[in-house]
A and B are shown apart, each in its own frame.
Chain A
Amino acid sequence: MWFFVIGDLFIFGVYFVSYLWFRSADHALFLDSQRHLNQDIGVVNTVILLTSSLFVALGTAAARGGNARHALRLFGFALACGAAFPVLKAFEWIPEIAAGYRPGTNLFFMYYYVLAGMHLCHVLLGLMILGFVMRELRQSRAPRIRFVETGATYWHMVDLLWLVLFALLYLMR
């Protein structure tokens, strides 16, 4: 998993740098477009992912300590928090698309939808992985701790990528 995570981080890194490259060529366009984003949903989604990551970290520690039932409950909280992310994304995107801010609107919105969309695919895959971890914790008498740790690492990467995306798309001026 670590090789996959590192590969993904470098691929996203290239996208982040290219975003800043084009942004730097036209500050006015990007700044003006940024004003139409819903920063409030952005910050709530950030806190949701951070909280979800905390539950995953606590759940991993519980699984390592041999307390599979407690770990299962913590991963359940993580999954519930994580599942709120795509729902809020829909509440964010639908009014924006309805208001005419679409991927084809300009370069900022192209990056905004493509980067956040790729990240959203990672969130959905991460939610499935959390589901597999929960199945392992529920069904197995001796859950494979490596399996739990691998799933946790992926979920933290999803959180990490969002922290950078949030700063670049929503916050920087």
Chain B
Amino acid sequence: MAFLFRNPLVAVWALLTASTILSWALSRDGGVTPHADIAVTAGVLLIAAVKSQLVIRYFMEVRHAPAWLRRVMNGWLALLFALLAGIYITSL
């Protein structure tokens, strides 16, 4: 099994899966009573942003892409999560 994890793609997948389960556990613990929970939401959004960046960089291979494509994809990700976090925070 160890040889599998030497492949960077498999290592990225393991990280993506582990962080999915982490954010799920985070949400379950905080989700018993229905109230806005900034700590859970911050953790969930941060993990989602990191996962998105991993998919963009390693699966979509944007790290080897031309500069304009890297900028557009990074810009989309940064703008999206900045807006999501901004709207959430100002509404509390």
Contacts and interface: CB of A to CB of B under 8 A. Distances in A.
Interface of A: 2, 6, 9-10, 13, 16-17, 20-21, 24-25, 27-28, 31-32, 34-35, 39, 43, 46-47, 50-51, 53-54, 56-58, 61, 152-153, 156-157, 159-160, 163-164, 166-168, 170-173
Nearest to A161: B52
Contact of A54 (B10, B37, B91): B10
B91 A24 contact: yes
Contacts of A168: 84
Interface size, B (range): 35 or more
B28 interface: yes
Nearest to A51: B13
Contacts of B34: 28, 31-32, 34-35
Contact of B30 (A54, A56, A173): A173
Contacts of B21: 43
Nearest to A21: B87
B40 A167 contact: no
Given A43-B20, A46-B20, A54-B9, 9 more contacts: A31-B34, A35-B34, A39-B28, A47-B17, A51-B13, A164-B52, A167-B23, A167-B47, A172-B44
Contacts of B31: 34-35, 173
Interface of B: 7, 9-10, 12-13, 16-17, 20-21, 23-24, 26-28, 30-31, 34-37, 40-41, 44-45, 47-48, 51-52, 55-56, 58-60, 69, 72-73, 76, 79-80, 83-84, 87-88, 90-91
Contacts of B69: 2
Nearest 10 CB-CB pairs, A to B?
A: A24-B91, A167-B48, A173-B37, A31-B34, A171-B27, A54-B13, A173-B40, A171-B44, A156-B59, A172-B41
